[in-house]
Amino acid sequence: MTWQPHITVATIVEDNGRFLLVEEFKAGRHVFNQPAGHLEANETLLEAALRETLEETAWDVELTGIVGIYLYTAPSNGVTYQRICFAARPLRHHPERALDTDIVRATWLTRDELLADPERWRSELVPQCIDDYLAGPLHSLSLIRN
């Protein structure tokens, strides 16, 4: 078997101390995650982050920086993910837009509201990315080379 990491993107969208999260139904339970997903063929990392955020939350956002690059092996399936986490600011909501089928809803939570219920995190990366965003620094988008 050939080991191959999965390339994913995630987006931290903050508005006045609240963070845009998605509620998903995974492994028989409702969990919170950043808008996130896999890089698709012929797509840049920046395009993937914008697309996933729109598809999962119905929000157009402007990417403002890179929070970090994470390597995570999921204990549930042993798959290794490389996550590139971006920061963004909200621009426009499209409430009429249907969300991806595996998304229950998009919601805004404070860090404290998220931390109060660790059983609802999709993974430990959810609060870690928020904490890294808050601690800074944000890295320039020019770090990404296409």
Dmax (CA) for the chain in angstroms is 47
Residue 23: per-residue pLDDT = 97
Q: How far apart are CA 128 and CA 94, in angstroms?
A: 28
Q: How far apart are CA 59 and CA 14, in angstroms?
A: 12
DSSP the chain: ----PEEEEEEEEEETTEEEEEEEEETTEEEEE-SEEEPPTT--HHHHHHHHHHHHHSEEEEEEEEEEEEEEE-TTT--EEEEEEEEEEEEEE-TTSPPPTTEEEEEEEEHHHHHT-GGGBSSTHHHHHHHHHHH-PPBPGGG---
Mean pLDDT throughout 17-23? 98
Structure tokens at 60: 């157009």
Q: How far apart are CA 24 and CA 10, in angstroms?
A: 14
pLDDT digits (tens, 9 = 90+) for 116-129: 999 999 999 999 99
pLDDT digits (tens, 9 = 90+) for 41-77: 999 999 999 999 999 999 999 999 999 999 998 888 8
Residue 1 has pLDDT above 70, yes or no: no
Task: List domains and CATH numbers for the chain.
Answer: 6-143 (3.90.79.10)
